[in-house]
Homo-oligomer: A and B are copies of this chain.
Amino acid sequence: MRELLVYSPGEGERDLGRRILRLFREKQGGIVSGEELSCVLHVSRTAVWKQIKTLKELGFTITAVPSRGYRLLESPDLLIPAEIAAGLGTERIGASRLLCFRETDSTNEVAFRLAEEGAEEGTVVLAEAQRRGKGRLGRHWESPPGVNLYCSVILRPPILPHRASQLTFLSAVAVARAVAATTPLVPAIKWPNDVLVGGRKVAGLLNEMSAETEKVNFIVLGIGININMERSQFPPDLRHPASSLAIEAGGPVSRVAVTRALLAALDVLYDSYLSAGYGPVRNEWLARSAMAGRRVRVSFQESEVSGEVEGIDDDGALLMRCDDGRSERVLAGDVTLL
């Protein structure tokens, strides 16, 4: 597990790599001398040289221009926490700590561990790639490097455990808002954990919690969005048709823009959830849902039920009017739209 870059406001200005990148950007022609870097940043020439080396390892193309200094030719498409955080303006989400790993087993696992160690509400964990990305019910989440968003957010809501799934719906709404804000696409939410575009899955959610009977200790919202993944990168045996924002939009989508829009949406929605309760989230979920009024089949373990979707309940249950006339509250399962 290698930490890529960390942003935390208090330590921001101590992050040498970030300050060097800013100097490059501010400089006409993109050339900065080693002496200038060393002088402006108040560090030794050796420290500058070491940091340039680290940036190269991260994928930045930096060349030495004889007798003039360094030139930044190309920045990699990385989720640099400082870039995401710059001007993010959120109250909670990503406001105190934003970590990005080049590769990790699972951002949810990292976030869960951090939360157990007391990490603040709003802590965000990102990764460029996951070795063992997790889907719901122990399933695998395809997590190739550099193209998607793998994001986990720590929340500490003062709610009873049976309300926890409300936050899955909240994150589905946030994903829908972020997609709508950064692409021309029309996202549709599918119960319980998916966001679709054109009937194909582009995002999945995995909400994990630590709780005692009467108290949620913390919740980790896990959010995976297929952003620039190509058709060839999807495994052939997927349960449901899947796609990416880039495939659906017909061109690449900025990962940083989607990430910032997502964190901003989560922040606003969570703030409203804490002050106004679940109502607004539920209404927006239903409005953005692919399901209200649709005929569906839900299968869970051995059982199966078909009928029309009427809504969702306070505890996250799918409310259905079954084909035989009965009303049913469905708490778990795989949905097929009929």
Contact = CB atoms under 8 A, between A and B. Distances in A.
B315 A212 contact: no
B214 A192 contact: yes
Contacts of A315: 162
Interface string A199-230: 00000001111111111010000000000000
- A interface majority secondary structure: mixed
A136 interface: yes
A137 interface: yes
A132 to B, nearest CB: 13
A21 interface: no
Contacts of A136: 212-215
Nearest to A207: B213
A301 to B, nearest CB: 9
Interface in A283-338: 315-316, 331-333
A213 B162 contact: no
Interface string A41-64: 000000000000000000000000
Nearest to A208: B212
What size tier do the contact residues of chain A reach? 20 to 34
A192 to B, nearest CB: 6
Contacts of A217: 208
A99 interface: no
Contacts of A112: 210
Interface in A145-186: 160-162, 164-165, 168
A161 to B, nearest CB: 7
A331 B214 contact: yes
Given A161-B161, A209-B210, 18 more contacts: A136-B215, A137-B215, A160-B332, A161-B162, A161-B209, A162-B162, A162-B315, A168-B213, A192-B213, A193-B213, A208-B211, A208-B217, A209-B209, A209-B211, A209-B212, A213-B332, A214-B331, A215-B332
20 contacts: A136-B212, A136-B214, A136-B215, A137-B215, A160-B331, A160-B332, A161-B164, A162-B331, A165-B213, A192-B214, A193-B213, A206-B212, A207-B212, A207-B213, A209-B211, A211-B211, A213-B316, A214-B331, A214-B332, A215-B332
